[in-house]
Amino acid sequence: MKTLIYGAGPIGQWLALRLHSTGKDVTLLARGETYRSLRQDGVQIVDGLTGERHVARVKLVDRLDTEDAYDLVVVAMQKAGRLAVCPALARNQHLKNVLFLGNDVAGFRRYLDHLPEEIVLLGFPGAGGGWDGDDLVVMDREKPRGHHGELFIGELDGTIRERTRQIEKLFEAADVEVKVEKDIDGWLKYHFAFMAPTAGVIFMKGGDMRAVATDQEAIHRYCRACREAGDVLRAVGYRKRQPPIFNLYYWLPRWLEPLVFSRLFGSRGGEVRFGLHVRTVGPELRDLMEEFADLEAEAGLETPTLDALLGHVPRPDAERAEVA
């Protein structure tokens, strides 16, 4: 499949490198200083697990022209950025499939204001990372011999089509494990219910992952906030907690919470996937919080612990980053 990665943040660069390294026909769209830097130095990613630096000279463009043809466009940007590029995507009649990749709470309807429903898919990357000084560090697996990350994708109506399998094969050939979700809208909402408290407790501790891992009360508050968010989703009809591990916040005895989650926050994976990543996506959560507030109102539930944690999330800068 001829593929365009639209957005050159951590996830966009990671996907482009994975596809390029396995000989796929991939192009990365970047803009401004990011485009100039990538043109000069190529994509450079430090493996968060091994410390190895990977460099790739991926094909680059700085815009999508109306006559450009791609079998798949993967839009790997923050929510506001994904919505902002929809008009440019709509002006091109040669795009067969568009996969919007990233955090979402409000759902997919706003994409359909611009694009036909039959070409749109949603998804989320399992890798995480961000900038550590001048280095882009990405954690995409826990063991050296594991798959290079996961990609969760799904059709809007939950069916599995031939193009779903083609996209699955594309990324699995690049050693990225793909999980096709039948309710990707619900999956993304539950991801917010996990990621927002995670970001909140990290920002509460000033980004110090060790401080989070060793503060039992902070971990209790974190778990309570996840349950509050999950209760809202169940109340408005999203009754299947997903992925199933989200049930851990409900099943785990309170006395075990610090033991289990101190390992998560204190691990190398936690340091990169969460510690570095929330610096990148943290400001985006402000927009998603407003969307989640609509669900809270619909549910008629209060979420005091979640609200308190999210109060530590910084407000977005004037400029949006091109990240997932």
In a domain, 115, yes or no: yes
Q: Are residues 169 and 96 in the same domain?
A: yes
The residue segments making up the domain with residue 248 are 186-310
- Exposed e or buried b for every residue in 231-242, given b needs 16+ CB within 10 A? bbbeebebeebb
CATH number of the domain that 95 lies in?
3.40.50.720
CA distance 134 to 245: 34
Looking at the predicted structure, is the pLDDT value of residue 253 above 80?
yes
Q: pLDDT-derived band of residue 159, with 50, 70 and 90 as boundaries?
A: very high
pLDDT single digits (tens) 273-288: 888 878 777 768 888 9
What Rg, from alpha-carbon coordinates, does the chain have?
19
Average pLDDT over residues 210-233: 97
Q: Are residues 173 and 198 in the same domain?
A: no
Q: Which of 48, 279, 70 is nearest to 149 (CA)?
A: 48
pLDDT single digits (tens) 16-56: 999 999 999 999 999 999 999 999 999 999 998 899 999 99
Q: Are residues 140 and 277 in the same domain?
A: no
Looking at the predicted structure, is the pLDDT value of residue 152 above 60?
yes
DSSP string, 191-252: HHHHHHHHHHHHHHTTT-HHHHHT-HHHHHHHHHHHHHHHHHHHHTT--S-SSGGGGHHHHS
Average pLDDT over residues 9-19: 95
Alpha helices in 42-128 (DSSP H): 79-84, 86-90
Residue 319: per-residue pLDDT: 37
Residue 190: per-residue pLDDT: 96
Residue 316: per-residue pLDDT: 63
* Last residue of one domain, picked from the residues 182, 212, 227: 182
Looking at the predicted structure, is the pLDDT value of residue 257 above 70?
yes
Q: Are residues 131 and 9 in the same domain?
A: yes
**How many domains does one find in the chain?**
2
Residue 318: per-residue pLDDT: 37
Strand order in the sheet with 43-47: 53-56, 43-47, 135-139, 128-132
Tokens coding 10: 């951590």
Q: pLDDT-derived band of residue 320, with 50, 70 and 90 as boundaries?
A: very low
Q: pLDDT-derived band of residue 265, with 50, 70 and 90 as boundaries?
A: very high
Q: Are residues 41 and 151 in the same domain?
A: yes
Entry pTM:
0.92
In a domain, 315, yes or no: no
In a domain, 126, yes or no: yes
Q: Are residues 226 and 127 in the same domain?
A: no
Beta bridge partners of 6: 29, 75
In a domain, 109, yes or no: yes
The percentage of the chain sitting over the pLDDT mark of 70, rounded to a whole number, equals 97
Q: Are residues 136 and 228 in the same domain?
A: no
Residue 169: per-residue pLDDT: 97
Q: Are residues 234 and 115 in the same domain?
A: no
Q: Are residues 248 and 170 in the same domain?
A: no
Q: Are residues 139 and 57 in the same domain?
A: yes
* Last residue of one domain, picked from the residues 182, 203, 238: 182
Q: Are residues 147 and 216 in the same domain?
A: no
pLDDT single digits (tens) 295-310: 999 999 999 999 999 9
In a domain, 305, yes or no: yes
In a domain, 316, yes or no: no
Residue 252: per-residue pLDDT: 95
Q: pLDDT-derived band of residue 324, with 50, 70 and 90 as boundaries?
A: very low
Average pLDDT over residues 227-253: 95
Q: Worst-scoring range by mean pLDDT, 99-103, 130-134, 154-158, 221-225?
A: 130-134
Q: Are residues 73 and 87 in the same domain?
A: yes
Residue 158's CB is within 10 A of a number of other CB atoms, namely 13
The average confidence (pLDDT) of the chain is 92
Average pLDDT over residues 115-122: 96
Q: Which helix (H) or strand (E) holds 72?
A: strand 72-76
Residue 317: per-residue pLDDT: 55
CA distance 45 to 59: 16
